[in-house]
Amino acid sequence: MAIDPQFHESRERVGEENGVAVWGPVDEPEQLGIRGTHVAVDYDLCIADGACLEDCPVDVFTWVDSPGHPESEQKAEPTHEAQCIDCMLCVDVCPVDAIDVDAGRTA
């Protein structure tokens, strides 16, 4: 399963964390939803591989803790998604297809 690229239409925006949009459903700590808009990470798929943090040339991602989540205890937050230059490296390297980037999708 990969992140749904239509999440901004199929899901409800339920809030914001660290300036990053939260798209539900959220039922903490097991279900955390999708985070971000231009650069979106499905926290329920992310296994904290870290390739996105290592490879993004403009350091869009930062680690946030997710204790009690079944997939991983950390998630890659697209904290600085406004800096994204649409190189698409993160989309290519994520082993679980948890990231979607859409140049035309803005918060």
Closer to ligand F3S at the Cβ: 26 or 94?
A: 94
The least distance separating ligand F3S from the CB of residue 9, rounded to whole angstroms, comes to 21
Rg over CA atoms, the chain: 12
Site of tokens 């939803």 = 33
Q: Look up residue 31 and give its two tokens.
A: 């279900």
Q: Is 12 helix (H, G, I), strand (E, B) or coil?
A: coil
Q: Which of 49, 56, 55 lies closest to 84 in space, CA to CA?
A: 56
The only residue of 40, 46, 69, 79 in contact with ligand F3S, by rule CB under 6 A: 46
Closer to ligand F3S at the Cβ: 26 or 77?
A: 77
The only residue of 76, 77, 79, 100 in contact with ligand F3S, by rule CB under 6 A: 76
Helix (H) or strand (E) holding 35, with range, is strand 34-35
Which chain residues interact with ligand F3S by CB under 6 A? 39, 41, 46-52, 55-58, 60, 76, 84-90, 93-94, 96, 98-99, 101
